[in-house]
Amino acid sequence: MAGVELKSIVKAYGAVQVVHGIDLDVQEKEFVVLVGPSGCGKSTTLRMIAGLEEISDGELTIDGRVVNNVAPKDRDVAMVFQNYALYPHLNVAENIAFGLRIRKEGQKAIDDAVEEVSGILGLRDYLERRPADLSGGQRQRVAMGRAIVRRPKVFLFDEPLSNLDAKLRTQMRAEIKRLHKRLGVTSIYVTHDQVEAMTLADRIVVMHDGRIEQIGTPMELFLNPVNSFVAGFLGAPPMNQIKGKIVAGSNGPAADLGGQHIALAPLPGLQNAVGREVIVGVRPEYAQIVTEKQDGAIMGELDLVETLGSEALLHMSVGGAPFVIRTETLGNINKLEAVKGFTAAPELIKVFDAKTGMALSGQTRVE
Partner 1 sequence: MTNMNLYSRGDKMFVILNMVLIALFTLSTLYPFIYIASLSMSTGFEARAGNVILTPVGFTLEAYKQVLSEPQFWNSYKNTFIYTIGGTLMSLAFIIPGAYALSRPQLYGRRFWNLMVAFTMWFHAGMIPFFLNMRDLGLLDSYFGIIIGFAVNGFNIILLRNFFEGIPQSFEEAARMDGANEFQVLWKVYLPLSKPAIATVALFCVVSRWNGFFWAMVLLQDDSKIPLQVYLRKVIADLSDDEEFATSLLNAAYSFETVSAAIIVCSIIPILLIYPFLQKYFSKGILLGGVKE
Q: Assign 357 to helix, strand or coil.
A: coil
Q: Does 72 bind partner 1 (CB under 8 A)?
A: yes
Distance CA 45, CA 96 (A): 26
Min dist. Cβ of residue 63 to partner 1 (A): 17
> % helix / strand / coil in the chain, to the nearest 5?
30, 35, 35
> Residues binding Mg ion: what is the number (CB under 5 A)?
1
Question: Where in 144-183 is the site for Mg ion (CB under 5 A)?
Answer: none
Stretch that binds ligand ATP, among 20-28, 40-48, 211-219, 246-254 (CB under 6 A): 40-48
User: What is the layout of strands, in order, in the sheet containing 301-307?
Assistant: 301-307, 311-318, 321-328
Which lies closer to partner 1 via its Cβ, residue 164 or residue 298?
164
Instruction: For residue 247, report the phi and psi dihedrals to the nearest 5 degrees.
Output: -130, 165
Distance CA 125, CA 119 (A): 9
Question: Where in 24-53 is the site for Mg ion (CB under 5 A)?
Answer: 43
Q: Does 260 bind Mg ion (CB under 5 A)?
A: no
Min dist. Cβ of residue 209 to ligand ATP (A): 9
Question: Where in 250-279 is the site for ligand ATP (CB under 6 A)?
Answer: none
Choose which of 5, 44, 95, 263 interacts with ligand ATP (CB under 6 A).
44
Choose which of 1, 39, 59, 288 interacts with ligand ATP (CB under 6 A).
39
Q: 75, 106, 76, 102: which is closest to 90 by C-alpha?
A: 102
Choose which of 41, 152, 218, 249 interacts with ligand ATP (CB under 6 A).
41
User: What is the layout of strands, in order, in the sheet containing 154-158?
Assistant: 77-80, 154-158, 186-191, 31-35, 203-208, 211-216
Min dist. Cβ of residue 100 to Mg ion (A): 28
Residues near Mg ion (CB under 5 A): 43
